[in-house]
Amino acid sequence: MEFTNHFHVPLPLEETWKLMLDVPRILPCLPGARLKEALGDDKYLGSVSVKLGPIKLAFDGQAELVRKDDERHIAWLRGSGLDPKGRGSAQSEFSFALVPAAGGGTDVTVATQLQLSGAVAQYGRGSGMIAEVAGHILKQFEHNLAASLQDDADAAEPAAPMPGTPAQPAATAPGEAAAPRLAAVPGSAPASPEAQALLLQAQAVLAQAQAVLAATQQALNQNRRGAGRTAPPPQELNMLSIGMKAFWSQFKQGVGGLFGRR
């Protein structure tokens, strides 16, 4: 019996040609087929099973790539197998021819010649059923192959960074000190250079405040001792007051700018 089927591959012609010749790569996409061993010289040992109505046929055998035409993109194969239950055997010769598809990708035409012998030969009388099942299997093969190619494409693409992931800091040149950075707050965006500058300003203001407070504490301690000590001259107290006012003004300006901008 002879029958012809068609399927589509979403790849350019040359890529599809290489793919179709890679039997270990594409065979898992064919329903009911299993590769057992690659024998070399384009020969493969495997099995195939197919269900025709209530009857399930299975064959263990060998497939061989007999000839290929790289210019015309046509390959010819031969296969043979025996039913494990001793119900007969099958021999087939088939070819696949590739042509560019009008809408992109490649169309593949499979022409099959199948001969059954033994008890399984009775199913040859229903050649229409066998051709229909073969067409259904190739449609499943087309779907499985397209899904496999999409999985390969997805795996090859680099993973996109998750939203909110901070960028990696730039490398520091040898001998160059790293700039201070704001501590990262969970869920917040990375600090801008302006915010970094305001942080440095606030740190300077806080350092000045600590110095002023230390001077104030020292002056108070001297006043408390009292014994033989005189109060700080008015000029010193006036300078202390001016320093405190300057500190408060700079602190409000720096810290207010740091937390007031979004």
Look over the chain and give the mean of its residue pLDDT values, rounded to a whole number.
76
Q: Which residue has the higher pLDDT, 234 or 96?
A: 96
pLDDT at 22: 92
Question: Residue holding tokens 């001793």?
Answer: 86
Mean pLDDT of 21-45: 90
Q: Is the pLDDT of residue 176 over 50?
A: no
Q: What percent of the chain has pLDDT over 90?
A: 30
Mean pLDDT of 90-105: 93
pLDDT at 163: 57
Which tokens in the block code for residue 156?
A: 């090859």
pLDDT at 253: 62
pLDDT digits (tens, 9 = 90+) for 117-146: 888 777 656 667 777 888 888 888 889 999
Q: Is the pLDDT of residue 71 over 60?
A: yes
pLDDT digits (tens, 9 = 90+) for 18-32: 999 999 899 889 888
Q: Which of 64, 14, 72 is nearest to 43 (CA)?
A: 64
